[in-house]
Amino acid sequence: MRKVSSWGRLSADLHHVEVLSNPCSVASQVGRGPHLGIAHGMGRSYGDVALNREGTLWMTTGLDHFMAFDAVCGRLVCEAGVLLRDIQKMALPRGWMLPVTPGTQLVTVGGAIANDVHGKNHHVLGSFGDHVQSLTLVRTDGELIHCGPDVRADWFAATVGGLGLTGVITQAEIQLRKVAGPWLDTETIAYADLDAFFGLADGSEAGWEHTVSWIDCIAGGGGRGLFMRANPADPGPLPEPGGRKLSMPVVPPVSLVNRLTLRPFNMSYFHLNKWRAKRALAHYEPFFYPLDNVQAWNRMYGPKGFFQYQSVVPRDIGQDAVQAMLKEIARSGDGSFLAVLKTFGDRQPVGMLSFPQPGVTLALDFPNNGSRTHRLLERLDAIVREARGRIYPAKDARMPRELFEAGYPRLSEFMKYRDPKISSDLSRRLMGA
Ligand SMILES: Cc1cc2nc3c(=O)[nH]c(=O)nc-3n(C[C@H](O)[C@H](O)[C@H](O)COP(=O)(O)OP(=O)(O)OC[C@H]3O[C@@H](n4cnc5c(N)ncnc54)[C@H](O)[C@@H]3O)c2cc1C
């Protein structure tokens, strides 16, 4: 048995770990053995989507080759274990970048497709799957399926956002976007409440490609925060910032994020950044991936780990629902430091189970305080359910099955594409197998 942990520090004993490193042998590797398996990339998902208690994990980071790059039209073909960080490093000097990236670049292409990840520019460029031109899927019976938006489109729609349950993705073709360089023209604006947040979000939609906000979720139901927006910039050649990587060297015996530390921390974070708020030129790395500079930051939550809770609710009811969630959190006293509020654009998702949908999304980290935390999350579930929203499986370790079924109306259509020898802790919890 071998232990593997998710990013929220949920751990599972596995029966077997199989390292995939050659696309030609993936079919024979995933087809053998009595145990059900699931692909595992960088393990940056917070909950149990890439865990498989007492089963097999197929580790994909060995599938790490670039296969072709057309620097004229920005088309990249690579294996599915390539990291988004390595794509950015390869493509930027050639004038290209990934069009959509999540808040960490330490994820694999396969993981980004299987969760159909979103970035700060959903209202302009959609999610990761919108830029995948084709992919190769290996089924455990040895069948290879080559699919894309126009080729076997049903398989493509099942696999993008398909939580690794339709097969193992071995390679993908991605359309990059042209950029002048690594710089962004950014602006940070402090806001006092949710009315101001929605005003800023609406007002920025047409003129700003990237928008996101940090929200102080324990200052009361008001919802003050810091709104950040950015556009690609072309300041000409500038030296790249250096910067030392920090690291959380040990797991503290208790969570450093707790009732005592959170209020003063949130207050100083808000006031310091309000004071500094301005327009500035920024390198893409600190703007897109602020936490990548602190290695193993998830250790700060201590041995019991933490839950991430990310929901999206439709825009018409979004403000009331977010207000209600903030009130519940403030009342519980168990706030979150990493609290992100942003709007999604009015676009239909690519995948049958893709998370992004038009509306407003709130993402929060809560230290795991056992039943107290579960009770709070159940109260948040009730608000999401009433608002006809959904929860992000990439972040989840505990949502009730009926909430998943209500939030993902294409689930029964998706089930036809599942591979019978693939299963995860999440699929057993939410789909029964
Ligand atoms: C600091 C931080 C910030 C984040 N910010 C965002 C954000 O802004 N937006 C967002 O959408 N997400 C965000 N995430 C979540 C993260 O982007 C996703 O969980 C992503 O899918 C992780 O990729 P991974 O390579 O670590 O995959 P894993 O976590 O290992 O696996 C994720 C899923 O992909 C499947 N999978 C992996 N490889 C393959 C393959 N080759 N074939 C088939 N299935 C495969 C797995 O089975 C699993 O279902 C963030 C995570 C962190 C830690």
Range with lowest mean pLDDT among 73-87, 107-121, 248-262, 382-396: 248-262
Q: Is the CB of 38 under 6 A from ligand 1?
A: yes
Range with lowest mean pLDDT among 114-118, 156-160, 238-242: 238-242
Mean pLDDT of the chain: 94
The answer to whether residues 303 and 253 touch, using CB atoms and an 8 Å cutoff, is yes
Over residues 94-108, the mean pLDDT reads 98
Q: Is the CB of 111 under 6 A from ligand 1?
A: yes
Instruction: Say if strands 56-59 and 16-19 run parallel, antiparallel, or are unpaired.
Output: parallel
Residue 323 shares a structural domain with residue 380: yes
Residue with CA at minimum distance from ligand 1 atom 32: 111
Residue with CA at minimum distance from ligand 1 atom 49: 163
Residue 198 shares a structural domain with residue 174: no
CA–CA distance, 287 with 302 (Å, rounded to integer): 27
Residue 318 shares a structural domain with residue 205: yes
Expressed in angstroms and rounded, the spacing between residue 221 Cα and the centre of ligand 1 is: 31
**Which pLDDT value is given to residue 54?**
87
For residue 426, tell me if it sits in a domain. Answer: no
How many folded domains does the chain comprise?
3
Give pTM, 2 decimals. Answer: 0.97
Q: Could you tell me the CATH number of the domain that includes residue 120?
A: 3.30.465.10
Range with lowest mean pLDDT among 7-11, 243-247, 315-319, 364-368: 243-247
Over residues 382-397, the mean pLDDT reads 98
**Which atom of ligand 1 lies closest to the CA of 7?**
53
The residue out of 131, 162, 179 marking a domain boundary is 179
pLDDT interval class at 267 (50, 70, 90): confident
The answer, yes or no, to whether residue 49 has pLDDT greater than 70, is yes
Over residues 7-14, the mean pLDDT reads 88
CA–CA distance, 348 with 368 (Å, rounded to integer): 34
- The residue type at 192: A
Expressed in angstroms and rounded, the spacing between residue 161 Cα and the centre of ligand 1 is: 10
pLDDT interval class at 19 (50, 70, 90): very high
Q: Is the CB of 118 under 6 A from ligand 1?
A: yes
Expressed in angstroms and rounded, the spacing between residue 107 Cα and the centre of ligand 1 is: 6
CA–CA distance, 411 with 119 (Å, rounded to integer): 24
Residues 6+ apart with CB under 8 A from 308: 7, 8, 46, 47, 363, 364, 365, 366, 395, 396
Boundaries of domain holding 131: 66-179
Expressed in angstroms and rounded, the spacing between residue 360 Cα and the centre of ligand 1 is: 21
**Which pLDDT value is given to residue 218?**
80
Residue 263 shares a structural domain with residue 393: yes
**Which atom of ligand 1 lies closest to the CA of 45?**
19
Range with lowest mean pLDDT among 109-123, 173-187, 208-222, 307-321: 208-222
Over residues 57-72, the mean pLDDT reads 98
If one residue of 6, 48, 108, 210 were mutated to test the ligand 1 pocket, choosing by the most ligand atoms within 8 A of its CB, it would be 108
CA–CA distance, 193 with 223 (Å, rounded to integer): 5
For residue 429, tell me if it sits in a domain. Answer: no
Helix H or strand E segment including 403: helix 401-407
Residue 175 shares a structural domain with residue 196: no
Which residue is listed with tokens 């393990």?
Answer: 43
**Which pLDDT value is given to residue 220?**
62
For residue 387, tell me if it sits in a domain. Answer: yes
Which residue is listed with tokens 């296969």?
Answer: 67
**Which pLDDT value is given to residue 106?**
98
At 295, list the tokens.
């290695």
Residue 394 shares a structural domain with residue 286: yes
The residue out of 161, 179, 197 marking a domain boundary is 179
% of residues, the chain, pLDDT over 90: 82
Q: Identify the CA nearest to 162 among candidates 101, 217, 114, 104.
A: 114
Residue 83 shares a structural domain with residue 202: no
**Which pLDDT value is given to residue 15?**
82
pLDDT interval class at 116 (50, 70, 90): very high
Q: Identify the CA nearest to 182 among candidates 278, 88, 86.
A: 88
Q: Could you tell me the CATH number of the domain that includes residue 311?
A: 3.30.70.2520
How many Å is the Cα radius of gyration of the chain?
A: 21
**Total count of residues recorded for the chain:** 433
CA–CA distance, 22 with 62 (Å, rounded to integer): 8
Q: Provide the β-strand partners of residue 12.
A: 4
Q: Identify the CA nearest to 330 among candidates 222, 221, 215, 197.
A: 221
For residue 415, tell me if it sits in a domain. Answer: no
Residue 273 shares a structural domain with residue 348: yes
**Which pLDDT value is given to residue 246?**
81
Residue 170 shares a structural domain with residue 189: no
The answer to whether residues 345 and 380 touch, using CB atoms and an 8 Å cutoff, is no
**Which pLDDT value is given to residue 221?**
58
**Which atom of ligand 1 lies closest to the CA of 426?**
49
Q: Is the CB of 43 under 6 A from ligand 1?
A: yes
Residue 309 shares a structural domain with residue 350: yes
**Which pLDDT value is given to residue 378?**
98
Q: Is the CB of 162 under 6 A from ligand 1?
A: no
For residue 413, tell me if it sits in a domain. Answer: no
The answer, yes or no, to whether residue 357 has pLDDT greater than 80, is yes
**Which atom of ligand 1 lies closest to the CA of 167?**
43
For residue 218, tell me if it sits in a domain. Answer: yes
Residue 170 shares a structural domain with residue 73: yes
pLDDT digit string (tens) for 216-255? 988 765 789 999 999 999 998 888 887 777 888 788 888 8
Residue 71 shares a structural domain with residue 30: no
